[in-house]
């Protein structure tokens, strides 16, 4: 395996649009199935997360830090909690959302509600939550907990790898979300 050279090449805007279209198609088909399985919820959640990252330029940690209260539905915007790495203090930034991202977030809400209904206890403020139990540092966490930044990153990587192997010539899709979210050439 070779050494990665940074910054990694970004995806041109035309190809980013192809990625968004495919994510929307998968999420719409999964949402229409309405059988409530975690796989359908996974497709909808991942489409909403990745499209939000592409639209706003948010990093995976910033996507995972978004609470439901940070999504301003009427204004069609989201407040990001930015923490520049070594370049100044943290700050809040409101980013507008396009129609596609807004529709995917609305599509995600019933899936999120269904996952959180399985929890004993209070509501989780996070917009994006885990769909299955998982472990961190040897501790088992139930489904419905805030998705960690590595969960956001891994969700995209698994989607990209699935696309690489499905035979539809999507091998050009990067496995790093960073390459999709950063603005690229025309």
Per-residue pLDDT tens over the stretch 117-176:
887 666 899 999 998 888 777 888 888 889 989 999 999 999 999 999 987 788 889 999
Say if CB 181 and CB 59 are below 8 A apart. Answer: yes
Contacts of residue 85, Cβ cutoff 8 Å, sequence gap at least 6: none
Query: Which range among 54-63, 80-89, 171-180 shows the weakest confidence by mean pLDDT?
Result: 80-89
């Amino acid at each position: 395996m070779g050494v990665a050279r940074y910054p990694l090449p970004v995806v041109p805007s035309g190809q980013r649009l192809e990625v968004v279209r495919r994510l929307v198609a998968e999420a719409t088909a999964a949402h229409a199935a309405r059988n409530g399985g975690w796989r359908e919820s996974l497709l909808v959640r991942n489409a909403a997360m990745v499209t939000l990252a592409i639209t706003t330029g948010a990093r995976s940690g910033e996507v995972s830090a978004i609470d439901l209260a940070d999504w301003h539905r009427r204004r069609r915007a989201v407040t990001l909690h930015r923490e520049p790495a070594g370049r100044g203090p943290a700050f809040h930034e409101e980013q507008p959302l396009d129609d596609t991202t807004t529709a995917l977030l609305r599509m995600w809400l019933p899936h999120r509600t269904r996952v959180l209904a399985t929890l004993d206890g209070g509501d989780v403020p996070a917009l994006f939550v885990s769909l299955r139990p998982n472990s961190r540092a040897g501790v088992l966490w139930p489904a419905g907990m805030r998705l960690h930044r590595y969960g956001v990153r891994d969700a995209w990587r698994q989607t990209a790898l699935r696309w690489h192997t499905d035979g539809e010539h999507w091998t050009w899709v990067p496995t790093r979300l960073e390459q999709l979210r950063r603005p690229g050439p025309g």
